[in-house]
């Protein structure tokens, strides 16, 4: 068994630490802030339960569902309301339901007849050059056309990535789409073939959208409880030193910790990783080039009779072509029970990203009116909110832009250069919470493999 230092108590770091400790290794987790969870943060006030960062976990595999069972949260998982399958996109100033069936697609006003016919023609899309790295925009235009880019993909990217499809890499930001094309050429034909293959092999999984009764903070808190006194809060790490074994230098004292470790796992945001010194050198400085624009989450509570929209779905996303300032709004109280007092509703709105980074950092009174103006236009909101809460993330979501592969390659170079060093986090493993869970397992398994090999 080995000794491991995990730097960063976000979901990836905690997941890696929990798995390593469960397998018998001695683990210490170092976290610079006063709480665990990273971007996962649940706020409770006046009968409202607000998610300040991610709002849901999308379980996309049986492995992740099994992992929830292993850590003791399987029975606590709360599935989103059945209405969450209904989504809205904005066109011509109106929130229009996304079609949920081929018949609805034929008659939806979201897309023109030209766009609908263009979608059918996707099955004839020619093979792409595997040596050329495309932006998501280029990829989508080839397969689906410009209108689908403008009114389907662009709002999705704005709402999920807070990003710009003209800049994001399809290969690294959307690897499943990239791999689907590489294997099947057509996205439509590939999706059909992949579903059939999974059904035959028994690996077909029905995606679940979940949270917990007390919010997503339940997840990192549960992992931290399982690690007990192995988690050291308020211990920011400024440097790591390697001389056959690993030592950590804490930012608070400037001293090198006396403990030694066989391996170090760095599960940090890109900007924090870039500032960590290795043997006194700025080894990770290139990661400062990964853009992570600011995003503000503004939550408002209203009486139900103040909102004209039926709020019968997950929420609405806004294309950049539409004359609004927000990226999108979640109908939080429609998703899960207990998010608002009786007779009230909770709307969670996101602002900023690469589309409008300056908007995210506006003073609260200014931003409040910006958001309320859009909510009134889109969802027929009347009057003033009975509750308001703001959380701004100065560096929110890492952007997997064209050329992101150089950062992934450099992480591998660093790991090869320093035995026992493992690097992960949402700038490497993906931005969704499901990817963070998988990234934690990867880091634990790779660290354990190193520890096993080093004892042979």
- The pair of structure tokens assigned to 97 is 């339901």
CB distance 224 to 36 below 8 Å: yes
CB proximity list for 281: less than 8 A, separation 6 or greater: none
The β-bridge partners of 30 are 7, 232
CB distance 186 to 125 below 8 Å: yes
- Residues 431-447 have pLDDT tens digits of 999 999 999 999 999 99
- Residues 348-358 have pLDDT tens digits of 999 999 999 99
CB distance 400 to 168 below 8 Å: yes
Q: Count Cβ atoms below 10 Å from residue 325 Cβ, excluding itself.
A: 17
Domains and CATH numbers, the chain: 3-39+217-290+400-454 (3.50.50.60), 102-201 (1.10.3110.10)
pLDDT at 27 over 60: yes
Q: What are the angstrom distances between the C-alpha of 157 and each of 163, 344, 360?
A: 6, 30, 17
pLDDT at 257 over 70: no
Query: Based on C-alpha coordinates, what's the Rg of the chain?
Result: 23
Average pLDDT, the chain: 95
pLDDT at position 317 is 98
pLDDT at position 434 is 96
pLDDT at position 269 is 96
CB proximity list for 89: less than 8 A, separation 6 or greater: 95, 96, 98, 110, 151, 152, 155, 316, 317, 319
Q: What average pLDDT score do residues 208-235 get? A: 96
Lowest mean pLDDT among 48-52, 75-79, 191-195, 367-371: 191-195
pLDDT at 456 over 70: no
Using DSSP bridges, classify how beta strands 3-7 and 26-31 pair: parallel, antiparallel or unpaired: parallel
pLDDT at 315 over 70: yes
pLDDT at 258 over 80: no
What DSSP designation does 425 have? S
Nearest to 267 by CA among 5, 7, 35: 7
Question: Distance between CA 382 and CA 299 in Å, rounded?
Answer: 16
Dihedral over alpha carbons 34, 35, 38, 42 (to 10 degrees): -130
What DSSP assignment string belongs to 26-51?
Answer: EEEEEESSSSS-TT--EEEETTEEEE
- Residues 73-111 have pLDDT tens digits of 999 999 999 988 899 999 999 999 999 898 999 999 999
SS3 371: helix
- Cβ-in-10-Å burial (0-12, 13-18, 19+) of 175 comes to middle
Lowest mean pLDDT among 151-155, 200-204, 338-342, 343-347: 200-204
Question: Distance between CA 182 and CA 186 in Å, rounded?
Answer: 9
The β-bridge partners of 27 are 4
What DSSP designation does 430 have? -
What band does 274 get if pLDDT is binned at 50, 70 and 90?
A: very high
How many CA atoms are closer than 13 Å to the CA of 347, on its beta-carbon side?
Answer: 32
Lowest mean pLDDT among 179-183, 390-394, 443-447: 179-183
């Amino acid at each position: 068994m080995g000794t491991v230092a995990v730097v960063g108590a976000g979901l990836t770091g905690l997941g890696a630490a929990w798995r390593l400790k469960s397998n018998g290794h001695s683990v210490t987790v170092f976290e610079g802030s006063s709480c665990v969870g990273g971007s996962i943060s649940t706020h409770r006030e006046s009968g409202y339960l607000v998610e300040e960062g991610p709002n849901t976990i999308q379980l996309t595999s049986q492995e992740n569902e099994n992992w929830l069972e292993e850590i003791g949260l399987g029975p606590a998982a709360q599935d989103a309301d059945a209405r969450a399958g209904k989504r809205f996109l904005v066109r011509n100033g109106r929130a229009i339901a996304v079609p949920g069936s081929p018949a609805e697609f034929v008659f939806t006003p979201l897309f023109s007849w030209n766009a609908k016919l263009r979608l059918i023609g996707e099955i004839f899309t020619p093979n792409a050059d595997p040596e050329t790295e495309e932006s998501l925009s280029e990829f989508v235009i080839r397969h689906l056309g410009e209108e689908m880019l403008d009114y389907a993909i662009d709002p999705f990217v704005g709402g999920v990535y807070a990003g710009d499809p003209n800049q994001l890499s399809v290969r690294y930001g959307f690897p499943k789409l990239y791999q689907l094309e590489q294997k099947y050429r057509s996205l439509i034909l590939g999706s059909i073939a992949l579903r059939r293959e999974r059904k035959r092999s028994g690996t077909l999984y029905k995606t679940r959208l979940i949270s917990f009764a007390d919010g997503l903070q339940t997840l990192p808190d549960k992992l931290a409880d399982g690690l007990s006194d192995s988690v050291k809060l308020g211990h920011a790490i400024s440097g790591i030193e390697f001389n056959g074994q690993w030592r950590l230098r804490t930012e608070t004292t400037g001293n090198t910790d006396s403990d030694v470790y066989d391996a170090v796992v760095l599960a940090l945001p890109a900007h924090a990783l870039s500032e960590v010194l290795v043997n006194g050198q700025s080894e990770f400085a290139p990661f400062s080039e990964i853009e992570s624009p600011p995003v503000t989450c503004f939550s408002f509570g209203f009486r139900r009779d103040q909102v004209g929209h039926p709020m019968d779905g997950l929420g609405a996303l806004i294309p950049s072509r539409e004359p609004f300032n927000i990226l999108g709004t979640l109908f939080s109280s429609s998703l899960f029970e207990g998010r608002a007092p009786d007779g009230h509703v909770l709307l969670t709105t996101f602002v900023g990203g690469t589309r409008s980074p300056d908007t995210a950092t506006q003073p609260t009174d200014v931003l409040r009116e910006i958001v309320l103006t859009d909510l009134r236009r889109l969802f027929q909101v009347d009057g003033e909110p009975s509750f308001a809460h703001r959380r701004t993330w100065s560096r929110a979501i890492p952007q997997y832009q064209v050329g992101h592969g150089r950062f992934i390659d450099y992480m591998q170079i660093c790991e090869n250069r320093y035995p026992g060093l493992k690097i992960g986090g949402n700038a490497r493993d993906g931005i969704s919470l499901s990817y963070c869970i998988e990234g934690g397992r990867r880091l634990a398994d790779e660290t354990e493999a190193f520890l096993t090999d080093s004892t042979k």
